[in-house]
Amino acid sequence: MVLFKLIRPLVHALDAETAHRATVSALSIAPTLPLPSFDPSLSVEVAGLRFASPVGLAAGFDKDAEVADAMLGLGFGFVEVGTLTPRPQAGNPRPRLFRLSEDRAVINRMGFNNQGQAAALERLGRRQRRGIVGVNIGANKDSADRIADYVAGVKAMAPVADYLTVNISSPNTPGLRNLQAGGELDELLAAVSGARAPDGPPVFLKVAPDLDDGDHQRIVRAAIESGIDALIVANTTVSRPPLLSAAAGEQGGLSGRPLKALALDQLRRFRAASGGGLPLVAAGGIENAGDAWARIRAGASLVQLYSALVYEGPGLAKRIADGLARRLRETGHASIAEAVGTE
């Protein structure tokens, strides 16, 4: 943390996307650290997978599966790479990534920029399997059949994924969020279910925080009926709570601290809708152990973060994990599973 505080002004002197690219490049050539040890009380099972820590890296940081092992070595209990589309695509024009330092937030309109699933498949196929690495899949912007893109992603990436995430909640691909609507969601999830191999990895569904009353029950029902193994709540928001930054008017998805209250509310709604019958993964505005603990008590078995790294540095995941272990001891819970949904 001390080192990060020293170099943060230099990193933040670069535009946000250049700084991010430089960070990934540096991590890709750095020696891979061994997996950290976590307090045994943090171990939690979700969808048949055993996570050494419930604190994971959200999709978007490692879009092309270049530094999954490096991030595991930096203290994440699991890493989600992507979003990966069947074909490479450049994404939206730059600038498309903005720091809102006064708000401890980020706005992005990246548009699923990535090198495509084939390139990531080759990288992930070369790594020695250690830790849990999920693969987040999406549809190409110019695809004539987006449901077919998700089917292709499930089939292509299953061999190298510990779990797959179907991402239909990014606001930066026009029309993508329409797949969350009733009939389209049922059709998508039926196709995904049909594409899964019997011995394939579990499949998670990532949803938006910008939902209407009634959407939560409908999405939960569709997810359970199609065999989805967990919901990730939630992606970035198109809403704009009061913000201080001059970049507040930029188009795209807002993440970081201003998303905290909305994401927590959506998590509670999905917990109520599912009655605890569907595992939940919390994302959005998590920047310390208190935030992570609040999500766990609200019903999340796992948590993910990304934007907070911009301001807190790479040691954040381990600090949050250690903080969660202290919370368990202080509250008398023997495990994360005991604390889920206890608020």
The count of residues in the chain is 343
Tell me if residue 170 is catalytic. yes
The verdict on whether residue 63 carries a ligand-binding annotation is yes
The set of residues, in sequence order, having a beta carbon less than 8 Å from that of 246 and lying 6+ positions away, is none
User: Rounded to 5 degrees, what are φ and ψ at 61?
Assistant: -75, -50
Burial of 148 (0-12, 13-18, 19+ CB in 10 A): middle
The verdict on whether residue 5 carries a ligand-binding annotation is no
The verdict on whether residue 150 carries a ligand-binding annotation is no
The verdict on whether residue 113 carries a ligand-binding annotation is no
The verdict on whether residue 341 carries a ligand-binding annotation is no
Find out whether 303 and 281 touch, Cβ atoms under 8 Å: yes
The verdict on whether residue 92 carries a ligand-binding annotation is no
The verdict on whether residue 157 carries a ligand-binding annotation is no
The verdict on whether residue 155 carries a ligand-binding annotation is no
At residue 290, what is the residue type?
Answer: G
The verdict on whether residue 112 carries a ligand-binding annotation is yes
The verdict on whether residue 82 carries a ligand-binding annotation is no
DSSP secondary structure, 89-127, as one string: B--SPSP-EEEEGGGTEEEE---S-BS-HHHHHHHHHHS
The verdict on whether residue 284 carries a ligand-binding annotation is no
Find out whether 138 and 81 touch, Cβ atoms under 8 Å: no
The verdict on whether residue 227 carries a ligand-binding annotation is no
282 pairs with which residues across the strands?
233, 303
The verdict on whether residue 163 carries a ligand-binding annotation is no
283 pairs with which residues across the strands?
304
Alpha helices, DSSP H only, in the chain?
Answer: 2-13, 16-29, 68-73, 117-126, 146-157, 182-195, 215-226, 260-274, 289-297, 307-312, 316-331, 336-339
Cα separation, 303 vs 281, whole angstroms: 5
The verdict on whether residue 285 carries a ligand-binding annotation is yes
The verdict on whether residue 169 carries a ligand-binding annotation is no
**Considering 41, 53, 170, 274, which one is annotated as catalytic?**
170
Cα separation, 140 vs 332, whole angstroms: 48
User: Rounded to 5 degrees, what are φ and ψ at 129?
Assistant: -65, 115
The verdict on whether residue 342 carries a ligand-binding annotation is no
The verdict on whether residue 59 carries a ligand-binding annotation is yes
Cα separation, 31 vs 148, whole angstroms: 39
Helix, strand and coil in the chain, % to nearest 5: 45, 15, 40
Binding residues for FMN: 59-63, 83, 136, 167, 206, 234, 256, 285, 306-307
Binding residues: 59-63, 83, 108-112, 136, 167, 172, 206, 234-236, 256, 285, 306-307
Positions marked active-site: 170
Binding residues for substrate: 63, 108-112, 167, 172, 235-236
